[in-house]
Chain A
């Protein structure tokens, strides 16, 4: 009975939105890359780099928003690396993406150890505090869940609208979609496929970087090794689940967040009977089930993972 009552508590949904926030950024970022035809498996490493660089900037005295900007720039730079390797050079997107993840992660760990050679407890910063929205935050249940979050969470929701508007309503968004569906047709229209794809990967990677920075600047206040814990890979599953649409991706991320928050609470409830690892496994199992469930009904970008070389058919 208690297990069902939890579902109607404001704290569950507040936690769901909080857990979903980095995933929303990451999923939107991956979505932009994939709509332009580029799979970005660098996401796990790029989110780690965003988490680390944003946190390090704030630790060294920068403003929190400056930290977010640093995370975005670092993300975009790694996106540029991935973009150059897979777009004009046409390298395998799988292998390059894994390589970018390995490189970004190991660079973070290297610089972390370089900056803090002998720390036993990780150094802390003052993270973003919740910003209750006047009036709206007073609504029962919905208020605490949606309108007592930290500013980055609000930014995540704004980004969903912005990305949807950009992809569906602007000429540049159309260009991004065209190079992801039919690059030859885009070329014929005078669109530079290479630059649009690289630009999309950079923009998407910047969002991934911001998503990573949410972990260290808003959810926690320090940087740990392995703290990304597969969130990037879950974002890739969420893109498929959301059928490459920002709105549905948001829905997927929030559902995922709710599920994750729910399993954390069930863990406290049934922890004595069922091993805690079982609950930690559920989000990953859920992602795989979602992929199977969605696999038959999605229309993925036609040119996804197909390198485009001028004059080659």
Chain B
């Protein structure tokens, strides 16, 4: 068996194979559901109902999608330049730390000034977290996969230290949590009385900006060139290391915004369970979106729907909600396989 690059990519294949990939992931999950003794049709029905079946469910899905859009964009931007940022989780948490450090009363600003300041600081915090492994990569040749992964653990311990030390809320009844951000730092809700907040709109705007930037700005082109073939890019006069550094700032900044939006829009304060792995799930979102900024929005909503739907289903059908994580991981593996088959054809020899 050998693989040959396809001369042309039939449009049918480009749509059919990813659909087939998601179907495969669904079928495998259905088998796993059957192990629990439940009927897969009933379980999937409950999941769809729990994710999209009512206004409440749909808004909840969009709320869950918001941080995933940010982390998905962060990963997509980095992966396009072949900067393997597996540390969006850490960048998210530092973004959240910046938000609570500055947003709990330190800056006496009205909201039109405070919110942009917090956004900028959160993005800067996240950007700096990714700048370190990127510097180690460009300067010393240290693989950024391992350093970004290890930084996730370091940052989480650092946050835990802050929450039991300087950032601890004295009124928090001993729980390791920060104070709530002031009213001027909070994002308005999009629907009265529901959890969906303005962070969702900003996430969509961010996706559109990244898309325009990717298409129109010289740096967007250079990032893709570095990712496609860094040697050729260097030969063509593109300064590879500075481009990687700028990619890191953009990617880390986007992940930092995820932390800001979760604190300012949803939770109000910082706790150690602010993110149930949004950074890692961002990798899946970015890959499902084929690293396309606008695709990230769609993929984030899909992944969020799986999680929200599984939570609702688990309450009523009793199948463990971890089935959502299995489904998301399977979707990732099936999707990267499917994409490969849109680019290569199999020749049996």
Q: Which residues of A contact B320 (CB under 8 A)?
A: 109-110, 113-114, 117
Q: Which residue among A99, A229, A233, A311 has the maximum number of chain B CB atoms within 10 Å of its CB?
A: A99
In the assembled complex, the Cα of A98 lies from the Cα of B3 at a distance in Å of 24
Does B36 belong to the interface (CB within 8 Å)? yes
Q: Which residues of A contact B150 (CB under 8 A)?
A: 230, 233-234, 237, 284, 287-288
Q: B280 near A288 (CB under 8 angstroms)?
A: no
Interface residues on B, range: 35 or more
Q: Which residues of A contact B329 (CB under 8 A)?
A: 99, 102-103, 106
Does B209 belong to the interface (CB within 8 Å)? no
In the assembled complex, the Cα of A281 lies from the Cα of B151 at a distance in Å of 9
Q: From residue B56, how far is it (CB to closest CB) to chain A in Å? A: 26
Q: B32 near A110 (CB under 8 angstroms)?
A: yes
Q: B146 near A275 (CB under 8 angstroms)?
A: no
Q: Which residues of B contact A106 (CB under 8 A)?
A: 322, 325-326, 328-329
Q: From residue A5, how far is it (CB to closest CB) to chain B in Å? A: 27
Q: Which residues of A contact B283 (CB under 8 A)?
A: 95, 98
Q: A295 near B154 (CB under 8 angstroms)?
A: no
Does A164 belong to the interface (CB within 8 Å)? no
Does A269 belong to the interface (CB within 8 Å)? no
Stretch touching chain A among B121-129, B158-166, B198-206, B233-241: B158-166
Q: Which residue among A106, A295, A309 has the maximum number of chain B CB atoms within 10 Å of its CB?
A: A106
Q: From residue A130, how far is it (CB to closest CB) to chain B in Å? A: 30
Q: A275 near B336 (CB under 8 angstroms)?
A: no
Stretch touching chain B among A18-26, A83-91, A206-214, A255-263: A83-91
Q: Which residues of B contact A89 (CB under 8 A)?
A: 3, 337, 340
Q: Which residues of A contact B79 (CB under 8 A)?
A: 95
Q: How many A-B residue pairs have CB under 8 A?
A: 134
A105-136 interface bits toward B, Cβ cutoff 8 Å, 1 = contact, 0 = none:
11101100110010000000000000000000
Interface residues on A, range: 35 or more
In the assembled complex, the Cα of A113 lies from the Cα of B333 at a distance in Å of 23
Q: B158 near A291 (CB under 8 angstroms)?
A: no
Interface residues of B in 147-175 (CB under 8 A from A): 147, 149-154, 157-158, 160-161, 164-165
Q: From residue A42, how far is it (CB to closest CB) to chain B in Å? A: 10
Which single member of A90, A99, A100 contacts B3 (CB below 8 Å)? A90
Q: A89-B340, A109-B320, A292-B140 are in contact. Are A233 and B149 (CB under 8 A)?
A: yes
B333-348 interface bits toward A, Cβ cutoff 8 Å, 1 = contact, 0 = none:
1001100100010000
In the assembled complex, the Cα of A284 lies from the Cα of B145 at a distance in Å of 14
Which single member of B2, B146, B326 contacts A110 (CB below 8 Å)? B326
Q: From residue A34, how far is it (CB to closest CB) to chain B in Å? A: 11
Q: From residue B144, how far is it (CB to closest CB) to chain A in Å? A: 10
Does B1 belong to the interface (CB within 8 Å)? yes
Q: B84 near A296 (CB under 8 angstroms)?
A: no
Q: A98 near B86 (CB under 8 angstroms)?
A: yes
In the assembled complex, the Cα of A284 lies from the Cα of B164 at a distance in Å of 20
Does B301 belong to the interface (CB within 8 Å)? no
Q: A109-B320, A114-B36, A291-B147 are in contact. Are A102 and B153 (CB under 8 A)?
A: no
Interface residues of B in 1-27 (CB under 8 A from A): 1-3
In the assembled complex, the Cα of A41 lies from the Cα of B151 at a distance in Å of 16
Q: Which residues of B contact A107 (CB under 8 A)?
A: 32, 326
Closest B residue to A293 by beta carbon equals B140
Q: Which residues of A contact B3 (CB under 8 A)?
A: 88-90, 309
Does A51 belong to the interface (CB within 8 Å)? no
Q: Which residues of B contact A90 (CB under 8 A)?
A: 3, 340, 344
Does B284 belong to the interface (CB within 8 Å)? yes
In the assembled complex, the Cα of A38 lies from the Cα of B41 at a distance in Å of 39
Does A96 belong to the interface (CB within 8 Å)? yes
Which single member of A100, A117, A287 contacts B318 (CB below 8 Å)? A117
Q: A288 near B326 (CB under 8 angstroms)?
A: no
Q: A278 near B140 (CB under 8 angstroms)?
A: no
Which single member of A88, A105, A275, A311 contacts B164 (CB below 8 Å)? A275
In the assembled complex, the Cα of A284 lies from the Cα of B149 at a distance in Å of 10
Does A240 belong to the interface (CB within 8 Å)? yes
Does B112 belong to the interface (CB within 8 Å)? no
Q: A277 near B325 (CB under 8 angstroms)?
A: no
Q: From residue B152, how far is it (CB to closest CB) to chain A in Å? A: 8
Does A280 belong to the interface (CB within 8 Å)? yes
Q: From residue B259, how far is it (CB to closest CB) to chain A in Å? A: 19
Does A162 belong to the interface (CB within 8 Å)? no
Q: A237-B146, A240-B143 are in contact. Are A100 and B333 (CB under 8 A)?
A: yes
Q: Which residues of B contact A278 (CB under 8 A)?
A: 157, 161
In the assembled complex, the Cα of A98 lies from the Cα of B284 at a distance in Å of 9
Q: From residue B290, how far is it (CB to closest CB) to chain A in Å? A: 12
Q: B333 near A291 (CB under 8 angstroms)?
A: no
Which single member of A81, A94, A280, A310 contacts B84 (CB below 8 Å)? A94
Q: Which residues of B contact A310 (CB under 8 A)?
A: 2
Q: List 14 A-B contacts (CB under 8 A).
A: A89-B3, A90-B340, A99-B284, A102-B284, A105-B325, A106-B326, A233-B146, A233-B150, A236-B145, A277-B160, A281-B154, A288-B147, A291-B142, A296-B141
Given A95-B287, A287-B146, A288-B142, output 13 extra A-B contacts at Cβ < 8 Å: A89-B3, A94-B84, A94-B86, A95-B283, A99-B333, A103-B326, A103-B330, A105-B325, A229-B153, A230-B150, A233-B150, A277-B160, A288-B136
Closest 4 CB pairs of A and B: A106-B325, A113-B320, A102-B329, A103-B329
List residues of A whose CB falls within 8 A of some B CB. 41, 81, 85, 88-92, 94-96, 98-100, 102-103, 105-107, 109-110, 113-114, 117, 229-230, 233-234, 236-237, 240, 275, 277-278, 280-281, 284-285, 287-288, 291-292, 295-296, 309-311
